Amino acid sequence: MKPYPGVTLRARAVTIPLVRPFITAVRRATVLETVLVQAMDDDGRSGWGEAPISAVTKVTTPGVVASVHGPLQDLVARSDTADHAEALSHVSLSSESSAARMAVDCALHDLAAQRHGSPLFRYLGGRSPRVFTDMTLSVDEPAALASETRQHTAHGFDCIKVKLDAGGDQVARMRAVRRAAGPHVRLRIDANQAFTPEEAVRVITALEDAGLNIDVFEQPVPAGVWEDLAYVTRRVNTPIMADESVWTVEDLHRLIDLQAADLVNIKLAKTGGVLPAMQLAQLASSAGLGVLVGCMIESTVGIGAAASFAASLTESTEPTTAAHHIPQDLDGGLWVASSPVNGGARYDANVITLPERPGLGIFAAAGQETALR
């Protein structure tokens, strides 16, 4: 078999301002701190990946750079097959952080799709280059949430996700959002682990009694206490989605065994890239769980990979309107003031359009005409 083309990994730290502060129950961010990774082969191709840095991804910039240039580069160098399967398998089984593995996995998938001559979403089995997303609102008071809702729905968003914390009047907040959104806009809530199980049941029941028609309530209780998540799921009618609780296949097996949630939010920065994300999606589907593809605050490098993965999960042909497609949770790139690359995924309000160029369709770092060396 032809030797695996020599692949060199290069990691570069990037900091980009956000268009507005991102506020949840657990953090406040004003910039995107991330690490871009290029996988460059001997044939002149360059694949791209991203490792977002935050308290949520549990990594630091120096740690990711050291991981990419050290252990992960060594794993890729030891792969000797002509395709990228062996390298991807080695990376997925590595003990390196999931964010670092995500960056390398996505860069290798980009290279593999380029060698195949296909856009990444088609290489993964998707047919439509369009993926729909929700829009997230930071924790805020009712009037501000209503104003933001009107702004985003006027621009075409038909699914709004609201971040809640444990303070304030949750029903008043969501009532304001529902009034601003109208009856036909999907509403989601993400508590980011803000509540005790008893508080979560009380809040969700109050929202149900108010007739606010919440599509899904995400991660109401702290991760790691599976019985608490199951406690909430058994006592409310609103579908409960696990996020921070599920990083690995072992986590998902635990969720399934306890019937602890109705859906799972799969993020590449948690799973460690596209390959393990596909494994989680297959397991969730076989267990009858709903799957939503999510993201951290990321540039369009990470968003492009996540949207390509999301495109591969649908069996429908390209929808003609957003109403025909359940929106994913991939608005992270809309929070970033500028893109660090040329080409790649493109937002048009709630629609992410994936390029028809091979791979992720990225052809250079922003402001450059050639790959970083």
CATH number, position 16: 3.30.390.10
Say which CATH number the domain at 193 has: 3.20.20.120
Helix (H) or strand (E) run with residue 215 in it: strand 214-218
If you search the block for the tokens 């750079």, which residue do you land on? 65
Same domain? 49 vs 181: no
**pLDDT per position as a tens digit, 184-231:** 999 999 999 999 999 999 999 999 999 999 999 999 999 999 999 999
Q: Which residue carries 């006027």 as its tokens?
A: 154
pLDDT of residue 254: 98
Radius of gyration of the chain (CA): 20
Q: Which domain holds residue 71?
A: 7-117
Residue 98 lies in a domain: yes
Q: What is the pLDDT of residues 13-54, one digit of tens each?
A: 999 999 999 999 888 999 999 999 999 998 899 999 999 999
85, 143: one domain: no
Whether residue 58 is found in the same domain as residue 179: no
284 lies in a domain? yes
170 has a pLDDT exceeding 60: yes
2 found inside a domain: no
Among residues 76, 94, 117, the one where a domain terminates is: 117
CA dihedral 124, 268, 275, 109 (to 10 degrees): 60
What CA–CA distance (Å, rounded) separates 371 from 51? 18
Over 80: is that where the pLDDT of 239 sits? yes
**CB-based contacts of 25, cutoff 8 Å, min separation 6:** 139, 163, 164, 165, 166, 191, 192, 193, 194
Q: Is 371 within a domain?
A: no
Q: Please, are residues 34 and 299 in contact by the beta-carbon 8 Å criterion? A: yes
Residue positions annotated with a catalytic role: 163, 267
Q: Which two tokens stand for residue 75?
A: 């794993």
Can you tell me the distance from the alpha carbon of 90 to that of 100, in angstroms, rounded to the nearest whole number?
Answer: 13
What confidence tens digit (pLDDT) does each residue in 88-102 have? Answer: 999 999 999 999 999
Co-location of 160 and 192 in the same domain: yes
Both 175 and 225 in a single domain? yes
User: What's the structural domain count of the chain?
Assistant: 2
Residues 271 and 337 in one domain: yes
